Amino acid sequence: MKNRKQVSESARLPDHSGYFGEFGGRFVSETLMEALYELEESFKKAWSDRSFQKEYQNVLTEFVGRPSPLTFAEGLTRHAGGARIYLKREDLNHTGAHKINNAVGQALLAKRMGKMRLIAETGAGQHGVATATVAAKYGFDCEIFMGSEDARRQSLNVFRMNLLGAKVIEVDGGTKTLKDAISEALRDWAQSVLTTHCVMGTAFGPHPFPLMVRSFQSIIGREARQQIMKKEGRLPDALVACVGGGSNSLGLFHHFIGDESVRMYGIEAGGRSLSPGDHAARFQGGRVGVLQGSKTFVLQNPDGQILRTHSVSAGLDYSAVGPELAYYFETGRVHFDMVGDEEALQAFDTLSRLEGIIPALESSHAIAYGIRLAREMGQGKTLIINLSGRGDKDVLEVARLRGGVLS
């Protein structure tokens, strides 16, 4: 971090054009611009409105099951042989991941705005399930866009969304993954914008989505801060989270951004290798570009065509990254590294066996890095890993990868 002033300024970003430094903006078609202004205004009003906050908090407590525990991971700490490891248990939320925090917030907002229908993109299916869940609860019509490759990898979540009354639309264009699902959601929104709210699932897309999603997820770090102070009597030395678009990481980081002593680590998917198309490590192999509404780091070829990505986890398998994280990369506030498929799968096993917790494959990337980091940091330090979701949705895919057949 360069200086204290910069730290406190970061907390006030984005600016009113939706920029975090040079990243962010509203790179969408003119048809969506008025809707983005309407959304920004409604969000800002709601966020500073006590009755909205009360309702939101109430749903988080009564429906989502918050606060989520901060569990001391005794087995994992012993295994790593260094810093004390805590897990922020977003896996215990209703629907099994952090995604529900944001889906609840946006659904309450959409209700206030008088929208009738929710649409969402989904990669791992967690955000789709979360959106389908709140749509069922509040009586919205709901359609979820999902790449057909992801729908195959996460067939259980497709079934769950159907059970919840949502229609899942499989997207066959492009790479058949999250990126194509987002494009299709934006296309639908351009047509349905007068009646529909598009529930962006991560801290990405045009302003105000990155701000709004971060805000709805910041409950993670707010709780974690209080919990660690109570348990350890001091701030943690490091935070670790996996990075797809950035919602669970920013959710954990936000309330610690101003604490210079707290180091932050964002872990991207290293996939099979660092060859183009084999990974989703935007900060390793990407350069600044504009994709789906946002100026940020993007994996692309020299002509500017967006590259395919690969990760064993559908939720990290995306060519761009949220603009706020791009800004923290530039300023050095967050350190970015990556973990490949193999190491993530090992961590999936390790956590299952040592802690009795089956983590989501996305979160397994953070676990793997957390083990390395705890070892490096040594004893006397503490570390919080965001366990962004549970692994139930991944069990079939892991079985398939290992040649066991479950069906």
Partner 1 sequence: MTPQTRKNQITSAKKVIPYLMAGDPDLDVTKALLLEASKAGVWAVELGIPFSDPTADGPVIQKAAIRALSDRTSLSSVLSFLGTIPCSERPPVFIMTYFNLFLSLTIEEFVREAKRVGGIAGAVIPDLSFEDSKEVRKAFKASGLALVPFISPTTSLPRIKKILATADGFIYFVSLLGTTGKALTLSSTMEERVRDLCLRTKLPVCVGFGIQTPEMAQKILEFSDGVIVGSRLVQEENDPVKWGSLLRQFCEVARASAPSRHQ
Ligand X SMILES: Cc1ncc(COP(=O)(O)O)c(C=O)c1O
- The catalytic site residues sit at 99, 121, 388
Q: Looking at 336, 388, 394, 398, which residue binds ligand X (CB under 6 A)?
A: 388
247 binds, among ligand X, partner 1, none (CB under 5 to 8 A by kind): ligand X
Mark the segment that binds ligand X (CB under 6 A) among 119-127, 131-139, 142-150, 350-358: 119-127
d(CA 155, CA 175): 18
| Closest distance of CB 288 from partner 1, Å | 7
* DSSP helix/strand/coil, 122: strand
292 binds, among ligand X, partner 1, none (CB under 5 to 8 A by kind): partner 1
| CA-to-CA separations, 97 to 15, 36, 117, 362, in angstroms, rounded | 30, 27, 23, 10
Nearer to partner 1, 17 or 51 (CB): 17
Number of residues located near ligand X, criterion CB under 6 A: 22
Which residues have a Cβ under 8 Å from the Cβ of 193 and sit 6 or more positions away? 31, 32, 35
Instruction: Enumerate the H helices of 69-168 as residue ranges.
Output: 74-80, 99-112, 126-138, 148-153, 155-163
CA-angle at 324, arms to 274 and 216, nearest 5°: 115
Amino acid at 50: R
33 binds, among ligand X, partner 1, none (CB under 5 to 8 A by kind): partner 1
d(CA 341, CA 345): 6
CB 251 within 8 A of CB 98: yes
| Closest distance of CB 313 from ligand X, Å | 8
Helices (H) and strands (E) in the chain, counts: 17, 14
Q: Looking at 81, 304, 332, 378, which residue binds partner 1 (CB under 8 A)?
A: 304
Mark the segment that binds partner 1 (CB under 8 A) among 82-90, 149-157, 294-302, 340-348: 294-302
Nearer to ligand X, 77 or 247 (CB): 247
- Name which of residues 153 to 212 contact partner 1 (CB under 8 A): 173-174, 179-180, 183, 186-187, 190-194
CB 361 within 8 A of CB 312: yes
Binding mask 81-120 toward partner 1 (x if CB under 8 A, else -) reads ----------------------------------------
How would you class 55 by CB atoms within 10 Å of its CB: exposed for 0-12, middle for 13-18, buried for 19 or more? middle
Report the interface residues with partner 1, using CB under 8 A: 17, 25-35, 173-174, 179-180, 183, 186-187, 190-194, 288-293, 295, 298, 300, 302-306
Report the interface residues with ligand X, using CB under 6 A: 97, 99, 123-124, 126-127, 202, 242-249, 315-316, 360, 362-363, 388-389
